[in-house]
């Protein structure tokens, strides 16, 4: 039997009708009821930039969130205390650095003063030595 356009169309028509009849029969005979749990395709861990106790949860699991939405409220007392401690540490470190710089400057001046005193002492010792050498030469030249 040769396939003609009419026979092919008629075959497709019968298959389609059978499909629709079966579908209608299944829908009438067996109601469809399904339970499902939908899980997000992507889950993210949320890490806070500040430490503290969560005092309020504003979003629940499954809620839709947008960028910038507040999810939790964190008690800021611990963060404020940590910030104040950091500020005090920063201030102390700055003061310590300034003291070291001042001490370094003073030590440099003291070292320069020490060098100047040592040079003066060397000059005085050289002059004293030269004077004694001259005096000794004078004594050895004079007839007795």
* Residue-by-residue DSSP string for 65-91: --TT---EEE--HHHHHHHHHHHHHHH
Task: Return the pLDDT at 29.
Answer: 52
Q: Where are the domains of the chain?
A: 75-144
Task: Return the pLDDT at 34.
Answer: 65
pLDDT digits (tens, 9 = 90+) for 54-79: 889 998 887 888 888 988 888 878 77
Contact 54, 74 (CB under 8 A): yes
Using alpha carbons, select from 89, 103, 50 the residue that is nearest to residue 72: 50
Any idea which of 95-99, 115-119, 128-132 has the lowest mean pLDDT?
128-132
| First vs last C-alpha separation in the chain | 164
Higher pLDDT, 2 or 124: 124
Quote the distance between the C-alpha of residue 45 and its chain's center.
Answer: 17
**Rounded to whole angstroms, how far apart are CA atoms 57 and 28?**
46
**Rounded to whole angstroms, how far apart are CA atoms 54 and 58?**
11
Using alpha carbons, select from 53, 89, 90, 58 the residue that is nearest to residue 72: 58
Helix (H, G, I), strand (E, B) or coil at 132: helix
- pTM for this model (two decimals): 0.40
Task: Return the pLDDT at 13.
Answer: 74
Instruction: Return the percent helix, strand and coil in the chain, to nearest 5.
Output: 60, 5, 35
Residues with Cβ within 8 Å of residue 1, at least 6 apart in sequence: 7
Q: Hey, CA dihedral for 96, 98, 101, 105, is it positive or negative?
A: negative
| pLDDT tops 80 at residue 104 | yes
pLDDT digits (tens, 9 = 90+) for 36-53: 666 666 777 777 777 778
């Amino acid at each position: 039997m040769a396939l003609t356009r009419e026979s092919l169309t008629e075959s497709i028509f019968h298959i389609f009708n059978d499909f629709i009849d079966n579908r209608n029969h299944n829908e009438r005979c067996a109601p469809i009821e399904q339970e499902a749990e939908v899980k997000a395709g992507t889950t993210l861990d949320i890490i806070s930039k500040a430490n503290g106790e969560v005092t309020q949860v504003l979003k629940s699991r499954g809620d839709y969130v947008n960028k910038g939405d507040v999810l939790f409220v964190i008690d800021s007392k611990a963060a404020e205390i940590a910030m104040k401690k950091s500020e005090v540490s920063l201030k102390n470190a700055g003061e310590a650095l300034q003291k070291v710089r001042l001490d370094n400057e003073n030590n440099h001046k003291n070292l320069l003063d020490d060098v100047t005193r040592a040079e003066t002492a060397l000059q005085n010792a050289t002059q004293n030595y030269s004077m004694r050498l001259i005096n000794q030469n004078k004594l050895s030249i004079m007839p007795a």
